[in-house]
Chain A
Amino acid sequence: MIAEPRGMDLWQLLFTLALICANDSLPTSEVPLGEPQIIKCRSPEMETFSCHWTDGDVHNHTAPRTMQLLYMKRGDEEWKECPDYVTTGENSCYFNTSYTSVWIPYCVRLANENKVFDEKCFSVDEIVLPDPPINLNWTLLNISLTGIHVDIQVRWEPPPTADVRKGWVTLEYELQYKEVNDTKWKELEPVCSTTVPLYSLKMGRDYEIRIRSRQRTSEKFGEFSETLSVSFSMASEAVLCAEEIQFPWLFIIIFGTCGLVVVMFLILFSKQRLKMLILPPIPAPKIKGIDPDLLKKGKLEEVNSILASHDSYKPQLYNDDLWVEFIELDIDDPDEKTEGSDTDRLLSDAHMKSHSCLGVKDDDSGRASCCEPDMPETDFSASDTCDGTSDTDQSKKINEKEENLLCLDQKDNNESLTNLDDPANQQLISQSEDNQSKSPFADSIESPSPVPPVRTQLSNQSSVTNIDFYAQVSDITPAGSVVLSPGQKNKTGRAQCEAHTEPAAQCQPNFTMDNAYFCEADVKKCIAVTSHEEVEPHVQDQSFNEDTYFTTESLTTTAVNPSTAAEEASSSEMPVPDYTSIHIVHSPQGLVLNATALPVPDKEFMVSCGYVSTDQLNKIMP
């Protein structure tokens, strides 16, 4: 068609004109309707490509169809005809790999002998539209707890024509799905992998899935794959039920809240009575029978009495101080005493002892006594305040001195006290004669023997009795007098006297002064002194003995020894209930003691000055 001698220039001019006339974009064409035109040219894998055209309106053309597709690529000098009209169907031209060059401009022309109908130019890399993926399938990922939603994983394979493995073509895929009844497809974002999860599909529905692919750098997608059907309609009934159940709950909640609101309004705006009924006021704390004013005024006695009426209440002493109420002795009823027993003797001693108290009597709960380690002889003057005859005082004095004197007498060691002997003995004798009723013991002793032996016996016995100033309280008579048990310390007392000679000198001053009771301090001193001399067992015994007696004025524990001493003493001697537990404390009247023996209390039981606090009492009470 073109004159060859013109060469390239003319050819290029014509080519340029042809290109100018032609459209660069494939779809749009200015070919009039009814005319044959090239529909599209497509390469599925960038190795081959094909072009399709339409015949157009056949009827317009009388001449038989001799359509040709001519192509020309850069570097060619002439148009060439389509190498393959068959492979891709009718009205198409197929270019295999040998005819295909990528990144090279091509031009194709649809023409017959007379006329050029259409022409297109492109390069192969621009017309890549991959084939659809194949082998779509799905697997179940999980089902939600409610059983309504399902997650699945969809897999497929790349189109077989595209050489993805060698990397010649890089594809990405777009998945679309919809329910069977829907018309609109849902799209997912394009992915590069050949698998993708689908979330929240509904159980009981059927779905359709399709996938298409495109070359990653281009914009146009290839054709869709075959549709994959996913069916979940097995558990349809359960799904319906689950959905229906939801509604009643909503109604209930709404009506419930309305009702609550109505009730709240009623409460708030109703009468006082109703309010009281529903929301009663909280009462102030109060104990029955007790006027709070009582507590304010501090009348503890009344409070005690009221509280005592309560069963659960444990009577405690609500006194101002913690001292234990002392036991009041009734000395004026000798008839009630047991006669001829040690009790009387003890009582007499106790009587004497009580008069020799250091100001300890009824209302003085033993407070001021005993707490002074140094007991000056002024105590005797203090004893003047106590009730009692001078005789008793004297007898007491005599007895006090005689104790030591007698001990010393028997040893015949101490001369310093001999001065006191005669007058003491004489006084004792006289006293014993005078006070026969009060000292039957003396009488009993006195009668069979003459005076001197009596004296000695008396002295002996008085020594014993002197030692027995401390007696164990065994019972309290209804009249209020105390019944004491005899101390089994006669033998031991004497032995102690003998043993006590040496340490006695050191401890003497203290002992002479205060025979009635010992303080911790006193006893401690004695113990401390005596313990050094390795006469421990005896010392301990004596000290222990002294400690173990209760005074009649107060409940004092003069036990100061460490528990070891007590244990040793108790093991060496006969078992004696040294401490009696207090059964009941009827304040301020007296005590009732238990007969049972208690173990020696611990150190903590020891209180300074030998007084027991109520707390400690409670501890030892069973």
Chain B
Amino acid sequence: MFLTKKSVISLPICPSGSVNCQVSLGELFDRAVKLSHYIHFLSSEMFNEFDERYAQGRGFITKAVNGCHTASLTTPEDKEQAQQIHHEDLLNLVLGVLRSWNDPLLHLVTEVQRIKEAPNTILWKAAEIEEQNKRLLEGMEKIIGRVQPGDTGNEVYSSWSGLPSLQLADEDSRLFAFYNLLHCLRRDSHKIDNYLKLLNCRLIHDSNC
């Protein structure tokens, strides 16, 4: 059971023209969680499709040697760490990861089209993930503005330098680069989804989801 595209996009935060419109923090979190869940869902499916179509028989290393470019961001790796970290820090981390993926997603959309006989579903999903990621980023910035007003904080994010690998001449290498990127995308989207759900339950539902 997965969220449909409709349910994620359809809600405007405030009607246009309203001055003092204030969406509640719970509402913002609810939308953020829905978005992150949707992005992870799309990423998961896209990876599976790619894996089925291109990775079989090529012997791709699943746990790529090259880690994800977001590995430099120290994120909590288990529940205790996640519970101990302060919610503002965690929010900033989420924001950092999201920002780190702006660039790679943009290039993914353009480069995946160059794959020979790329199925439409993959192309569409790539474009959708890229768009939703931007929306989630906006939502997170709003949330941070509520939770931590005034302090925009240091914009920490990891830069991505994997574009050349997506443009390699060798098809196998290129496909491996895509595989790697999609794998990382799936993992990071799961991370973000989990952190946001954790924060939602902690801040909005008082740890009683």
Chain B 169-209, CB-CB to A under 8 Å as 1, else 0, gives 00000000000000000010011011001111110010111
Q: Which residues of A contact B67 (CB under 8 A)?
A: 74
**Minimum distance in angstroms from B48 CB to a CB of chain A:** 9
Chain A 211-246, CB-CB to B under 8 Å as 1, else 0, gives 000001100000000000000000000000000000
Chain B 61-84, CB-CB to A under 8 Å as 1, else 0, gives 111010100000001011110110
Within 8 A of A (CB), among B1-19: 1
Q: Which residues of B contact A107 (CB under 8 A)?
A: 63
Q: Which residues of A contact B78 (CB under 8 A)?
A: 47, 97, 100-102
Q: Judging by beta carbons under 8 Å apart, are A47 and B208 in contact? A: no
| A163 within 8 A of partner (CB) | yes
Q: Which residues of B contact A536 (CB under 8 A)?
A: none
| A121 within 8 A of partner (CB) | yes
Within 8 A of B (CB), among A1-22: 12, 15-16, 19-20
Within 8 A of B (CB), among A165-195: 165-168, 170, 172, 189-192
**How many B residues, CB 8 Å from partner?**
34
Contact of B37 among A97, A105, A190, A217 (CB under 8 A): A217
Secondary structure call for the B interface = helix
Within 8 A of B (CB), among A150-169: 163-168
Contact of B83 among A104, A164, A166, A191 (CB under 8 A): A166
**Minimum distance in angstroms from A303 CB to a CB of chain B:** 85
How many A-B Cβ pairs are below 8 Å? 82
Q: Which residues of B contact A191 (CB under 8 A)?
A: 1
Q: Which residues of B contact A19 (CB under 8 A)?
A: 61-63
Q: Judging by beta carbons under 8 Å apart, are A168 and B65 in contact? A: no
| B149 within 8 A of partner (CB) | no
> How long is the Cα–Cα vector from A166 to B77 in the complex, in angstroms?
16
Contact of A103 among B62, B80, B190 (CB under 8 A): B190
| B44 within 8 A of partner (CB) | yes
Q: Which residues of A contact B59 (CB under 8 A)?
A: 20
Contact of A20 among B61, B187, B205 (CB under 8 A): B61
| A364 within 8 A of partner (CB) | no
Q: Judging by beta carbons under 8 Å apart, are A163 and B187 in contact? A: no
**How many A residues, CB 8 Å from partner?**
35
Q: Judging by beta carbons under 8 Å apart, are B197 and A167 in contact? A: yes
**Minimum distance in angstroms from B176 CB to a CB of chain A:** 12
Q: Judging by beta carbons under 8 Å apart, are A12 and B65 in contact? A: yes
Q: Which residues of B contact A12 (CB under 8 A)?
A: 65
Contact of B198 among A16, A97, A122, A167 (CB under 8 A): A167
Q: Judging by beta carbons under 8 Å apart, are B41 and A217 in contact? A: yes
| B40 within 8 A of partner (CB) | yes
Q: Judging by beta carbons under 8 Å apart, are A165 and B207 in contact? A: yes
Q: Judging by beta carbons under 8 Å apart, are B62 and A121 in contact? A: yes
> How long is the Cα–Cα vector from A209 to B201 in the complex, in angstroms?
31
Q: Which residues of A contact B41 (CB under 8 A)?
A: 217
Contact of A217 among B44, B61, B83 (CB under 8 A): B44
Contact of A167 among B187, B191, B201 (CB under 8 A): B201
Q: Judging by beta carbons under 8 Å apart, are B79 and A163 in contact? A: yes
| A78 within 8 A of partner (CB) | no
**Minimum distance in angstroms from A256 CB to a CB of chain B:** 51
Q: Judging by beta carbons under 8 Å apart, are A217 and B193 in contact? A: yes
Contact of B65 among A16, A24, A47, A101 (CB under 8 A): A16
Chain B 47-65, CB-CB to A under 8 Å as 1, else 0, gives 0000000000001111101
Known: A103-B191, A104-B77. A190 touches B197 (CB 8 A): no
Q: Judging by beta carbons under 8 Å apart, are A123 and B83 in contact? A: no
| A125 within 8 A of partner (CB) | yes
Q: Which residues of A contact B193 (CB under 8 A)?
A: 217
> How long is the Cα–Cα vector from A19 to B176 in the complex, in angstroms?
15
**Minimum distance in angstroms from B208 CB to a CB of chain A:** 6
Give me 14 A-to-B residue pairs in the complex whose CB atoms sit less than 8 angstroms apart, sorted by A's number. Answer: A16-B65, A19-B61, A19-B62, A24-B62, A74-B67, A97-B80, A100-B78, A101-B77, A103-B77, A163-B79, A166-B198, A166-B201, A168-B194, A217-B190
List 15 additional contacts besides A102-B77, A104-B77, A190-B1; criterion CB under 8 Å: A12-B65, A19-B61, A20-B59, A47-B78, A97-B78, A97-B79, A97-B80, A101-B78, A103-B187, A125-B187, A125-B194, A163-B79, A165-B201, A165-B207, A166-B201
Report, nearest first, the 5 A-B pairs whose CB atoms are least far apart: A167-B201, A24-B62, A105-B63, A101-B77, A167-B197
